[in-house]
A and B are shown apart, each in its own frame.
Chain A
Amino acid sequence: MTIAASAAGARGALGRGRLRNAAERAGLFLAVLAVLWGLWEGFRAFGEAVDLRAGQFVVNDRTMPHLHDIVAQLFEPSRRNGPLLIGVLWDAALFTAKEAAAGFLLGALFGLALGTALAHSGLLQRGFVPYIVASQTVPILAVAPMVVVWVNPRLPPGLRDWGAVAVISAYLTFFPVTINTIRGLTSVDPRALELMRSYAAGAWAVLWKLRFPAALPFIFAALKIAAPASVVGAIIGELPASIQAGLGGAILNFNQYYITSPPSLWATNLVAALLGISFFLAVLLAERLVVRRAPEHVG
């Protein structure tokens, strides 16, 4: 069958295109990294050369450490005779990742459930969505201490403290998931619904076989926003919970010693950013595996 043969040929070409695509992307990533590095160091060099001052701000090793100093700091002992900074931050990142992952799962499931419930009724949406939006206008820093006070005493010992942080993280996660779940579930092609009606499909079958798969690209768009937000939520949540073991604790700690070792805080921020990025990439990977879509639909 010639059509099948040409289709197979097209698949092969697609595979080669994918490889070239990946190489292109890696190249682009490195190029952008080099540009950002150049901008940072260039601004530093320029600021020092002209003795740039903006109010209190002066360009020097304290305000803008060299990027190579920040990276090198990772391989210095975190304190005298202590372990390397990178080891300390690795442990802290794992701890925060546990909180953020739990918060992400909690928030995503809650957002999915809430969005699915609200998608069934315009009245419910008009009633509840304003409050859901309002929940996000309250600063997370104001909510976090209350969550710790309310949630912590009710948690079993194994979940205490980091469980409360996961709830704070979930608070940032559920919002985009809720909104996009509603939008995805309600923006189904009306003819596809007519088709399901012609098969006399029940509400559950319509939800599971049509609305939910059709909503997946919307839901994944939300999860990609929610994933780094869950890391931010976990880091902020550690502060009122007085948790020392995570990245939030590390940031507080190195903030106190900033005068003596500015690159330590910068290195911590770098690790926090990498954690957020890896959460994003994990969602991206899951999307690639789950969502089967026409190429032009794939974000």
Chain B
Amino acid sequence: MSESRPAVVSLRGVTKSFGAGGVTALQSIDLEVRPGEFVSLIGPSGCGKSTLLRIVGDLVEPTAGEVVVNGKSARQARLDGDYGIVFQDAVLYDWRTVARNISLPLELLGWDRARRAQRVRELLDLVELRGFENHHPWQLSGGMQQRVAIARALSFSPALLLMDEPFGALDEMTRERMNAELLRIWERSGSTVVFVTHSISEAVFLSTRVVVMSRRPGRIAAIVDIDLPQPRTADTREEPRFFELVTEVRDRLREGGLDEDRTAPDEGELVGEEAP
């Protein structure tokens, strides 16, 4: 990670309010994400982390502030296909097979059939779904559906991958396996990832940096560098440094939560979540 290369995502004073003079969801967010980084946004429900991700993707307009993606405006970056996005639900098209779901963005980009088929084969290998190309989404488990969604997001090799709690709907076992797979895919694809989660252990395990956000209005409370060595494996979760970092992120979250009601129900869920 060299400091001299231009940032993939650069946010300056990004603010978002909903409604006329209504709730401020995000306040003065400054953040730079450098090439090859894996940055997680973590915070309590309603801290605006998903909104921030959508602002980067030009799916939501900020009320104020500057958003630069790949050296251009967020809108131009979206039009140029500079990012792929994965949501909490896979959002696959029921009427398309696995292969045709993955190739949807390629169809929109006007790739010819042979080139699409070739790319889909590579991606099926990458997400280990070879043999399922002719299945329909409803014939797959939740974890497999999410792998299809990841393959679809990576299909056109975007520089940036935006992920909005992609494993939030999966059970703990599946989630940990998907975490390991995502790291493997991240290393092989070399893309930059911005990842929204409310699981502390997931954020620490995956990220090079964890951005801790505070509750309404959403602000960056702290940024924790995750210096765990790569590649990370299941054993990483057993290392003392892993637990230290989990504790640190949790403490920062608590400090962020002190501004307002620290006894809100979702804080309990958040803190108690990552039992080893």
Contact = CB atoms under 8 A, between A and B. Distances in A.
A7 B131 CA distance: 10
B36 interface: no
Is chain A's interface secondary structure helix, strand, loop, or mixed overall? helix
Given A200-B79, A201-B108, A294-B138, A216 B95 contact: yes
Interface string B85-122: 10101010111100000001101100000000000000
B91 A189 contact: yes
Contacts of B105: 199
A3 B141 CA distance: 11
A199 B94 contact: no
A191 B95 contact: no
Nearest to A293: B94
Contact of A198 (B78, B93, B139): B78
A4 B59 contact: no
Interface stretch (A17-25, A142-150, A205-213): A205-213
A200 B132 CA distance: 28
B138 A198 contact: no
Contacts of B137: 294
A213 B57 CA distance: 26
Interface centre among A3, A189, A291 (most CB of B within 10 A): A3
A205 B104 CA distance: 11
Contact of B91 (A192, A213, A297): A192
A191 B59 CA distance: 11
Nearest to A4: B131
A288 interface: no
A292 interface: yes
A197 interface: yes
A70 to B, nearest CB: 44
A199 B108 contact: yes
B135 interface: yes
Contacts of A292: 94-96, 136
Given A191-B89, A199-B105, A292-B95, A4 B79 contact: no
Contacts of B80: 200
B59 A295 contact: no
A74 to B, nearest CB: 43
B142 interface: no
A198 B57 contact: yes
Nearest to A202: B108
Is chain B's interface secondary structure helix, strand, loop, or mixed overall? loop
Q: Chain B interface: which size bin?
A: 20 to 34
A195 interface: yes
Interface string A247-275: 00000000000000000000000000000
B46 interface: no
A51 interface: no
Interface residues of A, number: 26
B201 to A, nearest CB: 26
A9 to B, nearest CB: 13
Interface string A225-240: 0000000000000000
Nearest to A5: B131
Interface in B124-145: 130-132, 135-139
Given A192-B91, A195-B85, A295 B138 contact: yes
B83 interface: yes
B131 to A, nearest CB: 4
B81 interface: yes
Contacts of A3: 131
A198 B105 CA distance: 10
B95 A297 contact: no
Given A195-B91, A199-B108, A7 B135 contact: yes
A134 B118 CA distance: 54
Interface in B151-208: none
Contacts of B85: 194-195, 198
A198 B162 CA distance: 10
Interface string A1-38: 10110010000000000000000000000000000000
A199 B95 contact: no
Nearest to B138: A294
Interface centre among A197, A216, A292 (most CB of B within 10 A): A292
A213 B95 contact: yes
A209 B107 contact: yes
A199 B131 contact: no
A50 B131 CA distance: 70
Interface of A: 1, 3-4, 7, 189, 191-192, 194-195, 197-201, 205, 209-210, 213-214, 216, 291-295, 297
Interface of B: 54, 57, 59, 78-81, 83-85, 87, 89, 91, 93-96, 104-105, 107-108, 130-132, 135-139
Given A214-B95, A291-B95, 5 more contacts: A194-B54, A200-B80, A200-B81, A209-B108, A297-B94
15 contacts: A3-B131, A4-B131, A7-B132, A191-B87, A194-B85, A194-B87, A198-B59, A198-B78, A199-B104, A201-B108, A209-B104, A209-B107, A210-B93, A216-B95, A294-B136
10 pairs of A and B residues whose beta carbons are closest in the complex: A294-B138, A4-B131, A200-B79, A292-B95, A213-B95, A198-B85, A191-B91, A199-B105, A199-B108, A201-B108
